[in-house]
Amino acid sequence: MRLASAFPLLTLALAGCAALAPEPDFTTLPHAAVVDTHDAGNPDRTDVFRVTTVDGRNVLPIVDEQYKVIGIDATNLIPAGRSVHLDFEGFGFYRSTGRRMFWDPMHVDGSIDFVPVVGARYVVRGTVSTALSTVWIENEATHEVIGQKASMAHDIPPPSDPVDTFK
């Protein structure tokens, strides 16, 4: 009788272990790469375009101070020859803590399902502005946009005083 009552718990425990199995090592399998990008051309902010998940698995670094990884472009290996789901985002990261707390980061996110080509490199590109932010994935060699661009309109009035009072 005890064995019969323990069977559902044992099954549940083993199913939980299977769900936490590590991802395979893509360096030993046919793979492609997707690379994050950033634009530090604006003196007040860095525009960041990055992959957040690959097939539902979070690929962002787990750090206690996120600002330390802004401007460091990650390269994520993805399996090639089969459908892959990517979630990605773009936003403006303000250098000033005051702006980060009170100004809109002009965030946009998107997702795509596609079949990567073995050995190909894909990059996350985008634009961030007070009117419209757009983010997309493109083939690094051909600059062909993969899937559709994701856009988000913003209703942010431009600053009336160009002097940054939060510096």
Counting the structural domains of the chain, the total is 1
Maximal CA-CA distance, the chain = 77
CB 11 within 8 A of CB 5: no
In a domain, 95, yes or no: yes
Residues 80-92 pLDDT 10s: 999 999 999 999 9
In a domain, 60, yes or no: yes
Average pLDDT value for the chain: 83
| Band of residue 122 on the pLDDT scale cut at 50, 70, 90 | very high
pLDDT of residue 2: 57
| Band of residue 165 on the pLDDT scale cut at 50, 70, 90 | very low
In a domain, 104, yes or no: yes
Residues 130-158 pLDDT 10s: 889 999 999 999 999 999 999 999 876 66
| Band of residue 167 on the pLDDT scale cut at 50, 70, 90 | very low
In a domain, 48, yes or no: yes
In a domain, 44, yes or no: yes
Domain containing 62: what range?
24-153
In a domain, 117, yes or no: yes
In a domain, 145, yes or no: yes
In a domain, 167, yes or no: no
Q: Inform me whether the pLDDT recorded for 70 exceeds 70.
A: yes
